[in-house]
Chains A and B, each alone.
Chain A
């Protein structure tokens, strides 16, 4: 993550220049620009400070979420190269400017052993629900968010549905009925008696 755009030796375009200077100003770990999307890598212990500082120029709190980078994939497709994957969580927070088209996604990495991070909710009111969602969907702890009760899921729900290892219950009950381009038809992969 920290090795910023080293893919090309050509002159960085204006967006890349802006992203690198934003990362410098915030003393972040690096910037990645991909498909016009700016991602700023932030150290986990600098998370809250960096986001608060970034809101000076990117005022709009847009969303907060997470990605589960995992080798254990219950449904859907896994990563392209599982052998090289470092299993981890990424927490993302997008801020955007309301004066221009500028915006950036701030990314920090959490280890699977200790998925906890400082909460933005005491500083940015809008973050509370987003953190509650990430908490129930991924099992990430937001230290300082005092209201981490389930948001979407029933109170007695067990598990974190957006983890890659979490099965899709409806598929367990009934195989995919649609076209074969998603998953093999049940009749075809097991001796025709599914």
Chain B
């Protein structure tokens, strides 16, 4: 036996011992659990994640730069493409900021319409979550239930705005004269389509029934609970440090909702509760959305009762020019705080538009929360944060 053989054998002996050396695992950008094109470079030790580096930007469209070469009226068409799951909700903070800058106030009817459509957008966004999250955990049936219901909501949005995903319905000083358009100066101004309130009200009734069914199907499901309870816990202080907002923040026990904390539109005139979680785990984040759909349907019903008649549009100049100034306006998007920082130099276009997109901030916590987790939990945690890659990449 030569000495060379000896070395060889001793090495073989070492490798027989069970070892799981660090391995770099690439997940995505094309992966069903990433909701788009998100890539994760994970350093794993066996099944445990040691470190993860999200790689984003595959869908970066440069909206902040593009906004610098668009007139204010054209920008609304851009911004509802940021988070396409709730297009209408993206327009609202921009238009509120712009109205503040220009000293225009939308008529009350228009404000209520914005409230109704914002809440419909919230319901449809949360229904996408209700569809995709159980799917990621292995249950396919809730997908069918939730997406079918979402289709009814999208139909309502479409019949008012003309668009299922990208309404582009807000105008400075009001909303677009609905249903076919037409001049606001004519004696008979355009309004919402006939029977819209009745259909919306019916849809809300159906929503409550469906939520009960979804609850039986998914919420109380033992497997879903096992996959989500105490998984991916985010404490409140960490959530604040990473700029989490919306249901993700409230799941961690911080009851911060801009509709209550800093009311805009007519949210101060409706009564609703803000669900707040306790543990900050995936289950709480799931439940937040589940409970918020009910609150949204409450708001929609009250709005239908309270909406006054009147014009949809205030008088505004033909060419929109914002006076010089800097304004930050924000609103409670389905996913959290959505804000625009508009820097105007007095022209037709903004000098700079900073978009504070919700999912981007919500995703920054990913490396922290995934550390030390198991790979199968990665999907559960990512899904529970409910991000849209268009909103991350802007």
* B140 interface residue per 8 A CB criterion: no
A-side interface residues, number (CB < 8 Å): 48
Q: Name the residue in B71, B262, B393 with the highest tally of chain A Cβ atoms < 10 Å from its Cβ.
A: B262
Closest to B327 in A: A35
A106 → B minimal CB distance (Å): 12
Q: Is the CB of B345 within 8 A of A77?
A: yes
- Which residues does chain B contribute within 8 Å of A181, judged by CB atoms? 71, 319, 348
Can you list 16 residue pairs at the A/B interface with Cβ under 8 Å? A35-B101, A35-B327, A60-B256, A65-B354, A76-B68, A78-B345, A79-B345, A80-B345, A94-B328, A94-B356, A100-B261, A125-B242, A125-B365, A126-B365, A130-B364, A168-B69
Q: Is the CB of B65 within 8 A of A161?
A: yes
B356 → A minimal CB distance (Å): 5
**Bound Cα distance from A92 to B352, whole angstroms:** 13
- Which residues does chain A contribute within 8 Å of B356, judged by CB atoms? 62-63, 94
* A153 interface residue per 8 A CB criterion: yes
9 shortest A-B CB distances, which residue pairs?
A152-B57, A101-B262, A126-B242, A76-B68, A35-B327, A98-B256, A152-B60, A77-B347, A126-B243
* B70 interface residue per 8 A CB criterion: yes
**Bound Cα distance from A168 to B66, whole angstroms:** 8
B217 → A minimal CB distance (Å): 34
A72 → B minimal CB distance (Å): 14
**Bound Cα distance from A100 to B263, whole angstroms:** 11
* B324 interface residue per 8 A CB criterion: yes
Q: Is the CB of B56 within 8 A of A63?
A: no
Q: Which of B322-344 contact A (CB under 8 A)?
A: 324-328, 337, 339, 341, 343
Q: Is the CB of B241 within 8 A of A61?
A: yes
- Which residues does chain A contribute within 8 Å of B256, judged by CB atoms? 60, 98
- Which residues does chain B contribute within 8 Å of A178, judged by CB atoms? 74
**Bound Cα distance from A182 to B75, whole angstroms:** 12
- Which residues does chain B contribute within 8 Å of A63, judged by CB atoms? 243, 339, 354, 356, 361
A130 → B minimal CB distance (Å): 8
Q: Is the CB of B393 within 8 A of A92?
A: no
**Bound Cα distance from A55 to B24, whole angstroms:** 36
Q: Is the CB of B65 within 8 A of A162?
A: yes
B144 → A minimal CB distance (Å): 36
* A59 interface residue per 8 A CB criterion: yes
- Which residues does chain A contribute within 8 Å of B328, judged by CB atoms? 37, 94, 103, 105
Given A37-B326, A79-B345, A152-B56, are A125 and B368 also a contact pair (CB < 8 Å)?
Answer: yes
Q: Please name 11 further chain A to chain B contacts, defined as beta carbons within 8 Å, in addition to the given A162-B65, A168-B69, sorted by A numbering.
A: A63-B361, A76-B69, A77-B349, A80-B346, A100-B261, A124-B241, A125-B368, A126-B241, A126-B242, A181-B348, A182-B349
**Bound Cα distance from A114 to B33, whole angstroms:** 42
Q: Is the CB of A129 within 8 A of B345?
A: no
Q: Is the CB of B349 within 8 A of A161?
A: no
Q: Which of B235-275 contact A (CB under 8 A)?
A: 237-238, 240-243, 245, 249, 254, 256, 261-262
Q: Is the CB of A37 within 8 A of B327?
A: yes
**Bound Cα distance from A67 to B68, whole angstroms:** 12
Q: Name the residue in A76, A77, A125, A130 with the highest tally of chain B Cβ atoms < 10 Å from its Cβ.
A: A76
Given A65-B354, A129-B360, are A152 and B393 also a contact pair (CB < 8 Å)?
Answer: yes
Q: Is the CB of B254 within 8 A of A35?
A: no
Q: Is the CB of A76 within 8 A of B56?
A: no
* A75 interface residue per 8 A CB criterion: yes
**Bound Cα distance from A190 to B346, whole angstroms:** 28
- Which residues does chain A contribute within 8 Å of B341, judged by CB atoms? 65, 92, 94, 105
Q: Is the CB of A34 within 8 A of B326?
A: yes
**Bound Cα distance from A184 to B29, whole angstroms:** 40
* B62 interface residue per 8 A CB criterion: yes
